[in-house]
Structure 1
Amino acid sequence: MGGLTMEASALYQGVVTHARFGPRRHRLRYRIFMLLLDLDALSSVLGRLKLLASGRFGLLSFRAADHGDRTGGDLKAYARGVLADAGIVADGPVRLLCMPRILGYGFNPLSLYFCHRADGELAAILYEVRNTFGQSHSYLAAVPAQGAVVRQTAPKRFYVSPFMDMDLAYDFEISPPGEAVSVTVGVRRGDEPVLTASFWGQRSALTDTNLLKAWIRHPLLSFKVIAGIHWEAVRILARGIGLRRRPPPPAHPVTLGKPA
């Protein structure tokens, strides 16, 4: 399930889709690529790749300080600490699915930590959410039963979109990284669907050649994502959907979810 028999770190290229169901229907679709990084071997992975700079400016780059507690420290230790606080044992590999920085700029609306037990089974998924106001928050849910698809749910506690209320819930449906990866986040009010966002990507080896090919297809990936968010905001405003007031961030940096 966790892809532990193949090289852990990988490149996933695929498609993001968004579908808003109310109060106005709205859809969008665009292509992106994401990195799956084995946090046990992060230094060696970054060391062998000439096109993925570590902690500095580059065509593509990765900075630990973009994730976790933003200190730039050990991200595996950070993830394990979050799980330990929740009473979840994950003494095996931790893999981070995220987008790289492009030409020094990066923005990850959602990054995922796949946290495994020592036997290789998935123990929990930590969802790291970032908004366009410079804030971040995480959702954590255990994976008690193994299967091809992981389904989890959590109450919404963090302000992301100025067009969505806070009294909502998230439903996560994840096909963990293997030959492909699939991440679907459903937003609902009670039993009424509000929005669905998803990413599906096909795996390829994390090499300089494949990184270059991915960059050629998406030379301004990070800029495209943030520009797309703001362009969609303009379109939603034009449809007559009003802004919601931004509340203070949650008192605790992690909200606990549960299996669905």
Structure 2
Amino acid sequence: MTAELPGPWGAALYDCRIAHARTTPLRHAFRHRTHLWLVDLDALPRLSAPLRPLARFRAADHPGDPRLTLRQNLDRYLAGERIDLEGGRVLMLTQARCLGYVFNPLTVYWCHGPDGQPVCTVAEVHNTYGGHHRYLLRPDAAGRASTAKELYVSPFFPVDGDYRMRLPEPGERLALTIHLDRPGGRAFTATVHGTRSPADPAGLLRAVLRHPLPTLAVALHIRLQGIRLLLRGLPVQPRSPHSTKETQEEVPVP
């Protein structure tokens, strides 16, 4: 059964440490901090007018029809995979649009049936080229699942290999791990660790003061690491057209 989210907004904030480690063809690692939201798609936080610029959840920032709600778009996607949650709860871990900007490398949806039992997990990946892809996962009891890589994310890796993910539904602690296994071995690992606090006005202000412009900072940090890899001579892999929406951007993701 899914637990109730704390706080007056029925949502949680996680103060997070995110780490990336590349092991081939050269070693490179970096870390950064940010905050993430855990929200119920059927009860998104209702912020007062002065706080709304600090956190907005828009369907247009995720795949689907921007005229529909986040929940409606997710249900449409699941229906295409022959999954009906029958109104069951969906929790979304994401970054909110802050001061007019958002970039979400990873959004995770934990999908439940009407009895509260988990049905599936959806990992939504965005790249800095404007592309996105949703991976439908059937995790085991520990939140572990695997899937083939299908979206060009890093210009230094081709679209091959498999993701090994551990995405347990968060509680007081958040602990996510994604490995990329390519021919020859493990090539990349990303981890997200965080501690939960209730989402309320004071908590949001503390989070924004601790991590100003959080989504812009993440995007700039990723681009900076990409430039460092280019300067180290790592060759760029060609990007072929992908089946999901993609638009051109000039600076790569590491």
TM-score, structure 1 as length reference? 0.86
- 1:258 is aligned to none
Contact kept in structure 2, 1:13 and 1:33, CA below 8 Å: yes
Indicate yes or no: 2:55 matched with 1:60: yes
Moved more, 60-69 or 133-142: 60-69
Give the drift of 1:101: 1.8
Out of 146, 158, 178, the position equivalent to 2:151 is 158
- 1:257 is aligned to none
CA distance in 2, matches of 1:138, 1:66: 14
Out of 67, 77, 84, the position equivalent to 2:79 is 84
Contact kept in structure 2, 1:64 and 1:73, CA below 8 Å: yes
Moved more, 160-169 or 80-89: 80-89
Out of 7, 20, 24, the position equivalent to 1:22 is 24
Would the alpha carbon gap of residues 135 and 52 (structure 1) be closer, same or farther in structure 2, given more than 3 Å must change? farther
Aligned residue-pair number: 243
Deviations 1:8-65 (A, max 9, x none): 52111110000101111111111110011111112xx22x445552xxxx13333221
CA distance in 2, matches of 1:70, 1:109: 20
Out of 160, 165, 189, the position equivalent to 1:167 is 160
Find the residue that maps to 1:215 and give its secondary structure: helix
- 1:229 is aligned to 222
Indicate yes or no: 2:204 matched with 1:211: yes
| Alignment-mate amino acid for residue 217 of structure 1 | R
Q: Indicate the structure with greater strand content.
A: 1
Instruction: Could you tell me which runs of 5 or more consecutive residues in structure 2 were left unpaired when the two chains were aligned.
Output: 247-254
Find the residue that maps to 2:155 and give its secondary structure: coil
Indicate yes or no: 2:98 matched with 1:96: no
Give the drift of 1:70: 4.8
- 1:132 is aligned to 128
Contact kept in structure 2, 1:51 and 1:60, CA below 8 Å: no
Contact kept in structure 1, 2:130 and 2:245, CA below 8 Å: no
CA distance in 2, matches of 1:137, 1:250: 9
Deviations 1:235-260 (A, max 9, x none): 1112221011111112699xxxxxxx
- 1:189 is aligned to 182
Contact kept in structure 1, 2:63 and 2:132, CA below 8 Å: no
Contact kept in structure 2, 1:51 and 1:208, CA below 8 Å: no
Structure 1 stretches of 4+ with a deviation exceeding 6 A read none
Instruction: Could you tell me which runs of 5 or more consecutive residues in structure 1 were left unpaired when the two chains were aligned.
Output: 254-260
CA distance in 2, matches of 1:132, 1:251: 14
- RMSD between aligned residues: 2.1
Moved more, 27-36 or 64-73: 64-73
- 2:111 is aligned to 115
Find the residue that maps to 2:235 and give its secondary structure: coil
Identity, % of aligned positions: 36
Give the drift of 1:204: 0.8
CA distance in 1, matches of 2:188, 2:51: 34
Deviations 1:147-166 (A, max 9, x none): 3x211111111111111111
Find the residue that maps to 1:111 and give its secondary structure: strand
Write out aligned runs for 1:27-38 (5 A). 27-38=29-40
CA distance in 1, matches of 2:105, 2:119: 23
